[in-house]
Chain A
Amino acid sequence: MASDSDLSCTGLVRRFSGHAAVDHVSLNVPAGTFFSILGPSGCGKTTLLRMLAGFDKPDQGDIYIRGQRMNDVPPNRRPVNMVFQHLALFPTMSVGDNIGYGLKRQKVPLAERRKRIAEVLEQVGLPGLEGRNPQQLSGGQRQRVALARCLVLKPTLLLLDEPLGALDLKLREQMKVELKHLQKAFGTTFVYITHDQSEAMVMSDQVAVMKDGRFDQVAPPEALYREPATPFVAGFVGDNNRISGDLVAVQGELAEIRLDDGSLVRGRIASDDLETGGRVDLFIRPESLVLAGDALNSGYSGMDACIRSTLFDGANSRVEAEGAGNNTLYARLPQDGSAPRFNENATVRLAWDPALARVFGARI
């Protein structure tokens, strides 16, 4: 394995009564990076993280941290700390004692302990709150205390289990950015799990998309968005429209698809197991759909659709339309004033650059 990787796992498997919650997961996290594991709830994220922290043992596979095999190392001896889903701050201790807990276990003398607690509180933006009780703090402040409690120990690896789940939307947006800054400032390697794709996209250097205990794709956020490797990733990461049809022809990179009403559309082939005549799904991002009156770019593919409603949401405003074969499609409306107004039930032409659409074999 690469020597500059802080964490590397090979073929991790964890079964619960026969069912594999984590199923042959391998991963490699370079030092100092922000690595997210993104997947729907129940896909095995927490199980994976608990194995990394040492609370659970893999049935198969190995865990290496900075090249050291960790499988048989108990949690209190791993250079790893974890921010728990519900934070798990010690209710009987003050903020200062919570943060000093790990330092005390390392037998750091009191004076230095005080100094480092004050420092880390400063860094997470809570200077002077040592004496408070965790219960007296707001959700966002408790969040920071939980982070500080781990960061003060300067772990090789910080594991975070959906730490923003309990916060309200506004605070979550703010903490996303802050977490990213903190990670950069401390230079600690973060392994962050979440079911919220926007959290993963905003913060991460690399994102692993997890489904049913396996990794579907590991890539930087932008690559994940632009070049999803599987239909699951295409549907889970970012908004996407899905249109089903039969593959009728392949021309180089492009596929021609007949929809259920007989009309033909085109998109770029994204997987190599497609067969002519087979069932396929075409994925188009809402921002790739152009609402064209009639004038069309010559290379574009398109279909007629009937406007159902306009959903105003600031920069994320969309129209909902019903396209060929009863497919519901969303198209983004630019808010720079260039978008025409649409009446309900008006018929429009929805067009797209075939190179921006992705064609996968249909999931059964």
Chain B
Amino acid sequence: MSHWLPRTYLALVYLLLYVPIAVLVVFSFNDSRTGYEWGGLSLRWYEALFDNRAMVRAMWNSLWLALSAATVSTLIGALTALALHRYRFRGKQILNGMLFVVMMSPEIVLAISLLALFLLVGMQLGYVSLLLAHVTFCLPFVVITVMARLSGFDERLPEAARDLGASDFVMTRTVLIPVIMPALLAGWLLGFTLSLDDVVVSTFVSGPTYEILPLRIYSMVRVGLKPEVNALGTLLLVFSLVMLILSQWILLRSRR
């Protein structure tokens, strides 16, 4: 029996996955102005990137937006999941299903409807409108992540805590939250990444007062691919890798 066929196949798949990323990283250190010639190692595009004040500003804006959108949607989403999990009421199934509708509906539809809504209530497009929009599409992911964790939750644990003298509040703080913590973290990270790289919804609901990174990059590459973008992409890649490793580490520790 030969193993070369499955091996070659796997190699090709991984090549397909990683070649674009590798090209991006390698060319971010390229000293040449054009994207297809190798001119030696250099950090000039990183320098150029950080000299570009509008770019740095957009980066901070994006980080801040992702941070706040992830945090707000985690808070709201956790409470929603707890309510959906804990209480029985009419229409619970419908509410459950509606989460998936938001998740599955085309982003462009969400974008148009949010824009229409904001215009209708006369809201200034900027940070607030972006935040509201991002919370909207992050929320279902958080709710579903937390609900999945809660579905394996032993209903007797809160009762045991109450039995041992804890008030409802203390029980929530000492038993419920530690148990759903990994889900909260996972939901937060998911929200953070979703928000950080969103283009479609953001294009519709952002205003000139608050420029964010994905839109900035998008407008940059429309006039031609600048090597700075490679440097930026590499930084984002490293950043998301760190986030990924961090989240896995936390999950592993909590499962120990």
Contacts and interface: CB of A to CB of B under 8 A. Distances in A.
Contacts of A334: none
A12 interface: no
Contact of A84 (B160, B165, B179): B160
A105 B171 CA distance: 10
A64 interface: no
A211 to B, nearest CB: 26
B167 A76 contact: yes
A81 B163 contact: yes
Contacts of B157: 88, 90-91
Contacts of B154: 86, 88
A101 interface: yes
Interface string B144-180: 0000000000101101111111110010001100110
A82 B157 CA distance: 12
A89 B161 CA distance: 9
A105 B160 contact: no
Given A90-B175, A91-B179, A92-B178, A76 B160 contact: no
A186 interface: no
Contacts of A75: 159, 162-163
A77 B167 CA distance: 9
B165 A106 contact: yes
B163 A76 contact: yes
A149 B159 contact: no
Contacts of B167: 76
Q: By CB atoms of chain B within 10 A, which of A82, A133, A149, A153 has the most?
A: A82
Contacts of B163: 53-55, 75-76, 80-82
B166 A105 contact: yes
Given A88-B154, A92-B178, A55 B159 contact: yes
A165 interface: no
Contact of A88 (B160, B170, B178, B254): B160
A92 B159 CA distance: 16
B179 A101 contact: no
B165 A105 contact: yes
A105 B162 CA distance: 10
Contacts of A140: none
A74 interface: yes
Interface string A82-103: 1011101111110000000110
B166 A76 contact: yes
A74 B162 contact: yes
Given A86-B154, A90-B175, A92-B179, A149 B162 contact: no
Contacts of B165: 76-77, 102, 105-106, 153
B183 to A, nearest CB: 13
Contacts of A101: 161, 164, 166, 174
A74 B181 CA distance: 28
B152 to A, nearest CB: 10
A331 B196 CA distance: 78
Interface in B213-234: none
B156 A105 contact: no
A82 B156 CA distance: 11
Contact of B156 (A77, A88, A92): A88
Contacts of B164: 76, 81, 101-102, 105, 149-150, 153
B159 to A, nearest CB: 6
Nearest to A105: B165
30 contacts: A54-B163, A55-B159, A55-B163, A74-B162, A75-B159, A77-B165, A80-B163, A81-B163, A81-B164, A82-B160, A82-B163, A84-B156, A84-B159, A84-B160, A85-B156, A86-B156, A88-B154, A88-B156, A88-B159, A88-B160, A90-B157, A90-B160, A90-B175, A91-B179, A92-B179, A101-B164, A102-B164, A106-B165, A133-B256, A153-B165
10 interchain residue pairs of minimum CB distance: A105-B165, A102-B164, A88-B156, A88-B160, A92-B178, A75-B162, A84-B156, A76-B165, A82-B163, A76-B162
